[in-house]
Amino acid sequence: MCNYFFKKQSRLLSTLQFQIVYRKHVKVIKSEFIYLGRINGLNFPRLGISISKKKIKKSHDRNRIKRLIRESFRSKQNKLISMDIVIIVKKDLKLKDNKFIIHRLQNLWIYK
């Protein structure tokens, strides 16, 4: 049975962990997101999310987008390459509905 939890070990938590990915990464640029990835040497992928207050002003909008990103990652994490991933929101998504954001995220992940 697949494990679909989003545990603490599956998250990038510290500034140092983010900086390691920022220094050396593979970049995929889409119209809504920037995807930074780096092989981590672990047996599982980890996710970090970066949403600027300049891009999305209201916290409830930022939190909604973070929830959608985490949910998409959680459902696909067993099929992903073992790497540290940072998702950066590039433009204002608060006007977009959840279906649109989820569809864009499905095309973003790099599979084994």
Say what the pLDDT of residue 81 is. Answer: 86
Q: Could you give all domains of the chain from N- to C-terminal order, each with its CATH number?
A: 8-106 (3.30.230.10)
Say what the pLDDT of residue 36 is. Answer: 92
Question: pLDDT grade, residue 108 (50/70/90)?
Answer: confident
The CA distance from 15 to 59, in Å, is: 21
* Chain segment 39-94, per-residue pLDDT in tens: 988 888 999 999 999 888 899 999 999 999 999 998 888 888 889 999 999 877 77
Q: Comparing C-alpha atoms, which of 21, 7, 13 is closest to residue 74?
A: 7
Question: pLDDT grade, residue 2 (50/70/90)?
Answer: low
Alpha carbon separation from 82 to 5, 37, 99, 103, 112 (Å, rounded): 16, 10, 27, 22, 9
Asked whether residue 104 carries a pLDDT value surpassing 90, the answer given is no
pLDDT greater at residue 6 or residue 39 = 39
